[in-house]
Amino acid sequence: MHLRPVLFILAALSAGSATAGTPAPHYHLAPITIPGANGVYVADINEAGQAVGYYVDADFANQAFLFDGQQVITLARPAGRDEAMATAINDLGQIVGYATTITDDGAQTTALLWDAAQPDSYVVIGDDQANKLDPADINNAGVVVGLASQDGAFRAFSWSAAGGLVDDGVPPNGPDTQAYWSAINDAGTIVGGWNAIFAASHATTGTFGMPGILPIAAGVDDVASMAHGIDEGGTAVGEMDIASDGHAVPVVFEGGIATEIPGALLGLSTGAAYGINAAGTIVGRAQDFATLSFKAFVYADGVAYDLLAQCDDDAGFPYLLKAAAINDHGVIVGVGRVGDFEVGSFIATPIGDDSIFDDGFDG
């Protein structure tokens, strides 16, 4: 789900440089609850507050879901497909994802397009098993982008109802490279990544309807990097090992330049940005795998915050793992730890400003 243009200038900002008098953001945190699920993984949210993702059912099979703000609806999947995942939803309620089943001949994958108004039906994208497609995003024109698996190799693809499936290929970086799109905006700008087999990814960009997979910013092909999301003005967010020290940090890609988002690591070692809305608010994740520490961050008005600390209650989450997406109303969805081992999903809704909570809700 992608958003309207935003004037976003980050290079001159530093941690703690919020606009004078701008209050810190505060949220009401609520779980997306699915009775009997062994895990809930939300992926995206649109302007209507509809969220999509997948849950692990009682038989430990993945099932695609739509959360309409009140209830969770399991999306239909084809007969012969045991599992399904929903990966993105646009403002028209069009949902993309895929259904799979494992056979003696390997994984059988079918890319799907659902409509939130008719969740019990779907349209198959592409030529089913001729190109095993993993859709990552859909814009408001109905253009779908993602990853196509062909004979074990990954290639970027785009699809539209009018033009059908287009193999966007791989960048000219050698015979063993592979590519994949992560997100597309309504202007048709696409972002994603490429990598050599068993090597780090590198952030890319392209344009729907035009050939070519290009570096999104200077230096991205020299270090680990990846673009995860993009707004309608063409500002993208993701991650990059800017210091070339093996630690990728959350970044903004704009005008061919990658800039670290100040403070977004929240004291941890690595991280990534996943979504940006029309106000320039960015969400993502910080982590330290050495200590198994994870936090979801929100970057607003020049300051990065620990999202959980800005919520009115922990809603049963000991800690949050990732803020995955944000809409223009500032509503955030993501995943967090539930209990000792399970993963649950949350929706964080902005609440009214109150100066008494400027330092969070602790105490």
pLDDT digits (tens, 9 = 90+) for 183-242: 999 999 999 999 998 999 999 999 999 999 999 999 999 999 999 999 999 999 999 999
Share of the chain above pLDDT 70, in %: 90
Task: Report the alpha-carbon distance of residue 293 to residue 105 in Å, rounded.
Answer: 39
Residue showing tokens 């320039």: 280
Give pTM, 2 decimals: 0.91
1 pLDDT higher than 50 = no
- Could you give all domains of the chain from N- to C-terminal order, each with its CATH number? 27-350 (2.130.10.150)
Q: Who's near 122: CB < 8 A, 6+ residues apart?
A: 75, 76, 77, 78, 112, 113, 114
Q: Which two tokens stand for residue 110?
A: 């079918």
CA end-to-end distance (rounded Å), the chain = 36
| DSSP secondary structure letter of residue 208 | T
Instruction: List, for residues 292-326, the tens digit of each pLDDT value.
Output: 999 999 999 999 999 999 999 999 999 999 999 99
Residue showing tokens 């062994």: 38
Task: Report the alpha-carbon distance of residue 276 to residue 328 in Å, rounded.
Answer: 9
